[in-house]
Amino acid sequence: MYNDEEKRTLEGVGAMSYKAIQMARGLVKPGVRLVDVAEKVEKFVMDNGFGLAFPLNLSVNSEAAHYTPSVEDERAFSENDIVKIDFGAEKDGLLGDCAVCIDLSGHYSSLVEGAEAALAVAISRVRPGVTTGEIGREIAKAIEDKGGRPIRNLGGHGVGKHDLHSEPFIPNYDDDSKNVLEEGMVIAIEPFATDGKGLVTDGDSCEIYQYVGPAQIRQPAARQVLEEVTAKYGSEPFAVRWLARSAQSKFSLYAAIRELERAGAIEPHPTLVEIGRGHVAQAEAMVIVEKDGCKVLTK
């Protein structure tokens, strides 16, 4: 639970997280490179005195989550894309997390509306004593009412200090969970809607990692990368491209990342892809559970 000073900081973190995704929303257009959006938004947050809870996620079409641009990434948005923007600011170890979805194609409005409706109804149901399974039931119904399927192996989560994904898990369907929401909990509610099969799996790309502990590292270049990661990012997720400025080359940087992963010093967070290659929409807000309901922090 958070004390009063931490709650004030969380409100500031939430407000900055929301400003950042709204800024990104205005930048996402056909022909624009993903890396340009990511770097502009991340710089905006840091220039305003906040850290980054995790790299800006720009997941497109069947990518549900965890895509962030790579080093020298030339990928650009197209007029056929549905784009998920997921991001959070950080201050003093307190983390933000929120997301919006943009349908550049105009073909997936029902998916976007389903995710947004699910988020709204879930927020309206949050109060002490409600179970996470009950929240999941409301999320699934709202998505299905718009013709979509909830993604069953993704969901919301608690948000702790230096811990972006803590208990409780908030399912996107009624999983019969009896975990009860308590006053003072901070949770991120995160509906995902798809026209696919309703499950995600690890994709082929991975640009987000997280330090998990010390390891024996042989190569000097890998040791240097590990020192930078622990000094700058601690246990928070980081993007490989954040390390590019101090690397000798793109090749040496990715070689170092591979060695650190093999040694168990860092954990990969690969892009999550819908198993039927269905299109995916997402909505997310972070709230604090209060006596008679909840307060949205990411606004």
Q: Is 279 a catalytic residue?
A: no
Give the containing element (helix H, strand E) for 118. helix 109-125
- What are residue 64's phi and psi, to 5 degrees? -90, -35
Record the tokens describing residue 20, joined without a space. 């950042």
| Nearest by Cα to 234 from 188, 266, 187 | 266
Q: Is 165 a catalytic residue?
A: yes
Using alpha carbons only, give the angle 24, 35, 155 rounded to the nearest 5 degrees.
60
Q: Is 97 a catalytic residue?
A: yes
| Identity of the residue numbered 76 | A
User: Which among 42, 81, 86, 134 is annotated as catalytic?
Assistant: 86
> Which residues are CB-neighbours of 64 under 8 A, at least 6 positions away?
84, 151, 154, 192, 194, 200, 272, 273, 274, 280, 282
End-to-end CA separation in angstroms for the chain: 21
Q: Is 157 a catalytic residue?
A: yes
User: Which among 157, 207, 259, 274 is annotated as catalytic?
Assistant: 157
User: Which among 165, 175, 228, 267 is annotated as catalytic?
Assistant: 165
User: Which among 134, 190, 236, 274 is annotated as catalytic?
Assistant: 190
Q: Is residue 133 within 8 Å of residue 146, measured between CB atoms? A: no
β-strand partners of 33:
76
- What are residue 172's phi and psi, to 5 degrees? -95, 15
Q: Is residue 155 within 8 Å of residue 127, measured between CB atoms? A: no
Q: How far apart are CA 212 and CA 230, in angstroms?
A: 10
User: Which among 97, 113, 116, 138 is annotated as catalytic?
Assistant: 97
Residues annotated as part of the active site: 86, 97, 157, 165, 190, 284
